[in-house]
Amino acid sequence: PRTALLFLSPKDLYTAPDSCEGRCEEPYSEEDECHCDAECESRYSCCEDYYVHCRPEGFSSSRDAITDEELLHVSEQLYGADHNKARPNDIAINPQYRAAPDETGDQEDHSPEPLYAYVNEKLFSKPTYASFIRLLDNYQRATGREEEVTAEELREQDNFLKEVMKTELMKKLFTFLHKKNRYSSEQEFLTDLKEMWFGLYSRSDGEKDSSGFEHVFSGEIKKGKVSGFHNWIRFYLLEKQGLVNYFSHNFDGPWDTYPDVLGLQFSWDGFYKEVGSAFIGCSPEFEFGVYTLCFIARPGRACHLSLGGHSVSIQTYTWPKSTYSHGKRYIATAYVVSP
């Protein structure tokens, strides 16, 4: 009998070199950009979407993929649920000098006044703020120095997670990720949040000296420069102590309410930050939730959201050199992109 000829479109034959779609269990070849075989986890060479396409359990079908439209919709939901954010009269900022793109590396203090003219510190007694602020003194800011985590610090992490999970914002985020088969229970989500954000890894010399939370919210010093540090509360508290000196801003978001977005130039104890973008006036759970959403939905890529009708993008990066529970990646960084 004649063999039926199968006509395949080029699309069926082509698979993207940086994707595992249609490549699960493909034999290892060192020429490939990234890999999709069972051993790729131990080699740290899996493609970014390996867990989406090839992981035996959990989500794999296209209906569980998070679309760009869904990201716009769920981010508006989170924005609307940020009940703990600053009200317009809770904060007065004084942005002063606006740096041109070619001036952000100047390390010149163009703004004689502090950035924060006023903050209503009653905000800080709200449970999510209070538990967040308690975490900020838990870190050695120099990379290469091992973090010693005490029992009290572990309790502070748990307490912060417990408080944020009580909020409508984080409940909405869990509901969305649950529908997308990322997590089967709130407890599973909580356990993963703790590892993803607070799990320790090494940024230098093999010492467990860093975590996503430390880098993003508290800030680190690496090779003589400020690394991470994208949080307005941390900035305000250090500026008030005279430890942060505001130099200029290179971007001011389109908002006339909070959370606003600023790209900042500043010095922290003499160490410089060329562009430290931050949401100003949001609650800790808003930033924590939005960064988590983007890290899960678009790891290592720009994640396009809508907040109060305005477009905003979050960039996250995964930490490639170490993993936890079945090859999941830690957060290396997450920040709002200032154009």
- Catalytic residue check, 215: yes
From the candidates 35, 85, 222, 230, which is the catalytic residue? 230
Q: Dihedrals φ, ψ of 186, to 5°?
A: -60, -35
Give the rounded distance of the alpha carbon of 243 from its chain centre: 25
Q: Which of 273, 321, 326, 328 is catalytic?
A: 273
- Respond yes or no: is residue 230 known to be catalytic: yes
CB-based contacts of 310, cutoff 8 Å, min separation 6:
253, 254, 255
Check if the beta carbon of residue 264 is closer than 8 Å to that of residue 273. yes
**Quick check: is 273 catalytic?**
yes
DSSP 88-147: GGGEEE---PBPPGGGTTS------S-SEEEE-GGGGGSHHHHHHHHHTTS---BTTS--
> Residue written as tokens 């120095």?
145
Task: Return the closest-CA partner of residue 175 out of 167, 163, 183.
Answer: 183
35, 215, 222, 249: the catalytic one is 215
**Would you please indicate which residues are annotated as catalytic (active-site) residues?**
215, 230, 273
